[in-house]
């Protein structure tokens, strides 16, 4: 009875944390939406300044001086950083949206690379090498982009946490592979050389609210939600793990176009 009461209290706390995380996600999406407005104004003003600047140079009204080059460099940097902020806010909006699933045709060879870029900085800070092996001409899929992004980011972040737990700030490796297993199915594999999953926890990984992370560090909802998303897409999600060796998650989802080539492109960030 004491154990049941303890588990009940723990479940209640996890539900509260999950609710708070949902609220934070909604707030983040709201902030991203609000930030987008001034970003658009800055972008428009940059475009106007750049047009005037270019016109003045063509008319010979500006001398080619070091100061002029510095101004051009500053303008280029403003443009670069505004575009970067816009990309981040769009990613947050896509990740945090709560509307109905909206499937669309996705080129996985491009999509996976874009999502992976979102964690490259975090991985680099912790000395983790990211390897990608994505087949050229990979088949397209018809899925909700935001949901598939949610699944991949969850797997990436879990892998990074496991790698840090085992290796600290050096020796970590995260591998992402994608290829066609048939004309109608795509396989995505996310593998790490992290701490792995203990044998007694292997049958609990997709159980809602189960987590091995410390209190406040995880809700236990991530993998359960990911499993549900992939299943709803008509796919399968499995894993293989060995303690102190690493974990590999495998996703298979239906393809809508035949792959043109099985030649792989290897990338390292």
Domains, the chain, with CATH or none: 2-96 (1.10.287), 103-268 (3.30.565.10)
> How many CA atoms lie less than 13 Å away from 111 in the CB half-sphere?
24
Backbone phi and psi for residue 129, each to the nearest 5 degrees, phi listed first: -85, 130
76-82: Cβ within 8 A, 24+ apart = 78/42, 78/46, 79/43, 79/46, 79/50, 82/39, 82/42, 82/43, 82/46
The confidence score (pLDDT) of residue 62 equals 80
pLDDT of residue 200: 86
pLDDT at 50: 87
pLDDT in the model for residue 81: 87
Structure tokens at 99: 């509307």
Splitting the chain (269 residues) into consecutive groups of 10 residues, what average pLDDT does each group show? Answer: 71 60 62 81 89 86 83 88 79 58 89 93 94 88 91 93 94 96 94 93 74 51 81 93 95 76 45
Q: Are strands 128-135 and 264-268 parallel, antiparallel or unpaired?
A: antiparallel
């Amino acid at each position: 009875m004491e154990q049941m009461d303890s588990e009940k209290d723990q479940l209640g706390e996890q539900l509260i944390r999950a609710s708070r995380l949902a609220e934070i996600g909604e707030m983040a999406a709201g902030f991203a939406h609000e930030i987008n407005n001034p970003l658009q104004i800055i972008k428009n003003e940059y475009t106007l300044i750049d047009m005037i600047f270019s016109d003045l140079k063509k008319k010979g009204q500006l001398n080619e001086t070091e100061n002029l080059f510095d101004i051009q460099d500053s303008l280029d940097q403003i443009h670069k950083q505004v575009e970067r902020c816009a990309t981040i806010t769009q990613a947050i909006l896509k990740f945090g949206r709560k509307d109905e699933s909206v499937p669309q045709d996705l080129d996985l060879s491009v999509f996976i690379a874009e999502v992976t870029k979102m964690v490259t900085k975090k991985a680099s800070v912790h000395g983790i090498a990211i390897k990608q092996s994505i087949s050229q001409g990979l088949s397209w899929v018809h899925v909700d982009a935001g949901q598939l992004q949610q699944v991949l980011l969850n797997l990436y972040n879990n892998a990074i946490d496991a790698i840090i737990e085992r290796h600290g700030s050096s020796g970590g490796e995260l591998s992402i592979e994608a290829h066609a297993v048939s004309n109608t199915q795509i396989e995505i594999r996310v593998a790490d050389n992290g701490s792995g999953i203990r044998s007694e926890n292997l049958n609990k990984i997709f159980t809602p609210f189960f987590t091995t992370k410390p209190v406040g560090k995880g809700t236990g909802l991530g993998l359960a939600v990911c499993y549900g998303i992939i299943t709803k897409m008509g796919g399968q999600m499995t894993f293989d793990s060995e303690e102190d060796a690493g974990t590999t998650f495998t996703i298979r989802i239906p393809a809508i176009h035949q792959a043109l080539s099985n030649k792989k492109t290897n990338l390292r960030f």
